[in-house]
Amino acid sequence: MSATLIQHATGRHLALLELARPIHASFCARWGIEYRVRTDRRCPNNPYFDKYADLIEWCETAPAGAPAIWIDSDALWINPTVNIGEALAPGFDLGMTVGNTSFNTGVMCLRSSPALLAALQRIYAASAREVARGVWRDETAVWQELAGAHSEALVEPLDDAFNFCGAASLPLRPVVIHAWHGRPFHCRIEGMAAKVHGLKRALEVR
């Protein structure tokens, strides 16, 4: 079953998305992954919840068991030898790397199921109480959802290679997705531009 890579950006983050787009389009074509991009606001309350509107839309129409990958606009798939559509182990609905206090939603691997759809809908509904409360409030909503007794979504902690943010220790395997989450915006642009330039030269991506 083919996978779907989903990305979304608005405002200044469009510059990051446009840097990554040719790389991601090339890698998706290599692995037969559908590539979906949106550039409009979806959530009126908090832009950090836009992604969940996209994921709900995908999950509502995808066949049961279909895989998808979400990658924030400030993260870049850098290893074309790894099919990220197969990153999530069988039996799980959702996969993310785990930080010190919460899951990192900058990269998510998903598998369509009723349990996942219900979880995504509740996470998106949380945007109503997270109006203008700062960045990354969606991660709080995700943590609360997955820790709740009502949630039936099964979550797999992913290796840091799938959302490598330049931590002091390297992941257990070669980096697949490099991220610049939380860095000053100019550092994100400069870091991604350098990675993209190197990949284009090495892989002859236009």
- List, for the chain, all residue ranges whose pLDDT scores fall below the cut of 50: none
Could you tell me if 91 and 153 are in contact, meaning their C-beta atoms sit under 8 angstroms apart?
no
Under DSSP, is residue 184 helix (H, G, I), strand (E, B) or coil?
Answer: coil
Residue 14: name the closest of 41, 45, 44 by CA.
41
Residue 135: name the closest of 158, 102, 165 by CA.
102
pLDDT at 48: 82
pLDDT at 152: 80
Q: What is the pLDDT of residues 113-122, one digit of tens each?
A: 999 999 999 9
Q: Residue 191 is encoded by which pair of tokens?
A: 């870091």
pLDDT at 199: 93
Q: Residue 90 is encoded by which pair of tokens?
A: 């069988």
pTM of model > 0.75: yes
pLDDT at 138: 81
CB neighbour list of residue 185: distance below 8 Å, 6 or more residues apart: 12
Helices (H), 126-184: 137-147
Helices (H), the chain: 14-31, 50-61, 114-125, 137-147, 185-203
Number of neighbouring beta carbons within 10 Å of residue 191? 18
pLDDT at 44: 80
CB neighbour class for 99 (10 Å; exposed up to 12, middle 13-18, buried from 19): middle
The most distant pair of C-alpha atoms in the chain lies apart, rounded to whole Å, by 49
CB neighbour class for 33 (10 Å; exposed up to 12, middle 13-18, buried from 19): buried
